[in-house]
Structure 1
């Protein structure tokens, strides 16, 4: 069951990636990120209020936000710091790079998760899982050659380093999620509500220094409907992902790879919508990534 929940998460993540590209194009990155988080946070406000005033009903329907200790708040705050760093880097990179380059590099995230799952959680990969992960990494390297044809030098372009950094932090957060869900027994809605709350606070502090005081930057910000869509789609994808992690049999290394099947939507549909170059050539490494994911599922 957890694999199907992972595929549902991938579906919403793919739609989220398309909306995110539209939201950040020619726009101020940090206020867009804040707007998406606020939109996602508002989804959970009714659940929080209902959990305080009518806990029995919200427990019955499965959306009860449980009271948590100060220590648990601290653990969630750490996740907020990690993901704020990842999102700031990813949004900045997405603003300056084609979605058909950014998304496949993000697809290398399962490799970092794979290594962490072995070292931290002692998850045992099979031969086919090893083969699948290395095929994913090799396919991402092929994208670097295609990127050069679009004037993107992977060794000198700072936005490439930004998306690699975002990928590493995102993978670290994925490993941390398993600890939060399984070791601390947090339910998805409790984790998502407080995670959004703390991440919004962190971004407000950053924006109060880098954006709010600067009039020209405030004028450069353009509100788009996709900002709201990004927030709602992301929280929906995360909900299914965390529900999958609640299964004690779920392997974080495989779940992370399954989520990357979102690239079908981001690369194929995104390439058409945003009229990006070399779409046919990008299908070759895309196929490599999909085969890698298939090997992991088949194993």
Structure 2
């Protein structure tokens, strides 16, 4: 069951990436990021109040937000700091790089998660899973060759390093999620609500320094409804992902790989919508990534 929930998370993540690309094009990155997280927070806010005033009903529909100790708040705040840094880097990179380059580099995330899962959680991969993960990494290298034809030299482009940093931080957060869900026994909606709450706080501090004091930046910001869409789709994806992690048999290394199937939407549909270059050539390494994901799922008996 947890694999099916992972696939649902991948579906919403793929749609989320398309909306995100539209939201940041020619726009100020930090207020867009704030708008997406704030939108997700506002979606969850009614469930918080319902958990206080109508706890029985909220438990019945499965969206009850539990009370947590101060120490647990601290753990969630750490996740907020990790993901805020990851998103700031990722949004900046997405603003200056084609989605068909950004999405595949982000697909290297499962490799970092894979190593962490072995070292931290002692998850045991099979031979086919090893092949699958290395096939994904090799395919990402192929994307770098395609990127050069678009004037993107991976070794000299700072936005490439930004998206790599964002990928590493995102993978670290994924490993941390397993601890929050399985060790601290947080339910998805509780983790999502407080995570959004603290992330909004962190982003407000960033905006107070980099955006609010500058009138020209405020005037340059363009509100788009896709900003709200990004926030809602991200919360939907996170909900199914965290529900999958609640299963004690769920392997974070496999969930991370399953989420990469979002690339079908990001590369194929995104490439068409945003009219990006070399779409056919990018299908070759995309196929390699998808075969890698398939091998991981096949080895797990999916």
- Aligned-pair distance for 1:61? 1.0
Q: What is the match of residue 116 of structure 1?
A: 116
Structure 1 runs (4+) deviating above 6 angstroms are none
Tell me how far apart the structure 1 counterparts of residues 34 and 199 of structure 2 sit (CA, whole Å). Answer: 9
- Aligned-pair distance for 1:143? 0.2
- Aligned-pair distance for 1:126? 0.4
Matched, 1:51 2:58: no
Tell me how far apart the structure 2 counterparts of residues 37 and 291 of structure 1 sit (CA, whole Å). Answer: 33
Tell me how far apart the structure 2 counterparts of residues 56 and 17 of structure 1 sit (CA, whole Å). Answer: 36
Q: What is the match of residue 207 of structure 1?
A: 207
- Aligned-pair distance for 1:294? 0.2
TM-score, normalisation: structure 2: 0.99
TM-score, normalisation: structure 1: 1.00
Q: What is the match of residue 150 of structure 1?
A: 150
Q: What is the match of residue 63 of structure 1?
A: 63
Q: What is the match of residue 252 of structure 1?
A: 252
Q: What is the match of residue 74 of structure 2?
A: 74
Q: What is the match of residue 271 of structure 1?
A: 271
Deviations 1:13-66 (A, max 9, x none): 000000000000000000000000111001111100000011111111110000
What's the secondary structure of 1:281's corresponding residue?
helix
- Aligned-pair distance for 1:221? 0.4
**Within-5 A mapping of 1:131-170:** 131-170=131-170
Q: What is the match of residue 195 of structure 1?
A: 195
**Within-5 A mapping of 1:170-249:** 170-249=170-249
Provide the aligned length of Structure 1 versus Structure 2. Answer: 299
Q: What is the match of residue 87 of structure 2?
A: 87
Deviations 1:248-287 (A, max 9, x none): 0000000000001000000000000000000000000000
Tell me how far apart the structure 1 counterparts of residues 42 and 225 of structure 2 sit (CA, whole Å). Answer: 15
Instruction: List gaps (5 residues or longer) in structure 2.
Output: none
Tell me how far apart the structure 1 counterparts of residues 59 and 273 of structure 2 sit (CA, whole Å). Answer: 42
Q: What is the match of residue 34 of structure 1?
A: 34
Tell me how far apart the structure 2 counterparts of residues 202 and 44 of structure 1 sit (CA, whole Å). Answer: 18
